[in-house]
Structure 1
Amino acid sequence: MSDTVVCVEDLYKDIEGRQILKGVSFEVKEGEIFSIIGGSGSGKTSITKHIVGLWKPTSGRVLVFGKDVSELSSVEMDELRKNIGYVFQEGALFDSLRVWENVGFYFLEHTSMSGEEIKRIALEKLRLVDLEEDVLDLMPS
């Protein structure tokens, strides 16, 4: 099995006659920390939309865990997205949910785990970024 988790090959995207992406290629290996950075309008969001299957390429391929994203069914895409983390450009959180509910949102919506168990997992993840228990019940305002 390959240790490549994301492979973007010669990716092109045209929208309404305008070329958004031109020949983008890169690989992300398992365990790597990878960032897409660039100025406004440089294609960061466009690349990300291809990786998570929101857009299909004009040409080129996007493989995630060895699967061509543009060929996946909606059920397969849902399964794939369970393994992808995505940080919104504006750092958006649901302003009606507490911090722990934002961090544990997937578990709240898609599992039968108790709130206490989800809160415990959220605290584990928050500690990875040097945040502690005192932020769990705060609102992101």
Structure 2
Amino acid sequence: LSTKKVEPEKLSTKKVEAEKLSTKKVEPEKLSTKKVEAEKLSTKKVEPEKLSTKKVEAEKLSTKKVEPEKLSTKKVEAEKLSTKKVEPEKLSTKKVEAEKLSTKKVEPEKLSTKKVEAEKLSTKKVEPEKISTKKVEEEEEKPSVKKDRKEK
């Protein structure tokens, strides 16, 4: 490995390529035009007429005033709302209706009939014959199921 040598011609050509890369320069025209473009951007100014009109518009907005008649009518409307009163007759009738609701009573006859109905429900009994017949029917069904299984 240590005795391996590079040919001198190849080394010299590599040096020349390196020099070519390092000596590559930017064209002066391109640089100057870029500077001009930058200047154009920085020197761009707003037209004075446009600025002045914007100021006038701002003044128009700030100097906009409410007409005094409109303000006074709004005050009158607010007074109307605040001075609005409930008629005393309407209040009294509402009280009477509340009393009617609270004094409403259930008639004693209706209560007693309800109790009788409850007693009827609680005293209702199942007939003993029906219970016994149900048991017999269930017992009859069971052997038939066993017969079906034996046939299969």
Specify the TM-score bucket, using the shorter chain as the normaliser.
under 0.3
Q: Which has the higher relative contact order, 1 or 2, with Cα contacts under 8 A spaced 6 or more apart?
A: 1
Normalising to structure 1: TM-score of the pair? 0.14
- Larger helix percent: 2
Normalising to structure 2: TM-score of the pair? 0.13
From the CA coordinates, give the structure whose radius of gyration is larger: 2
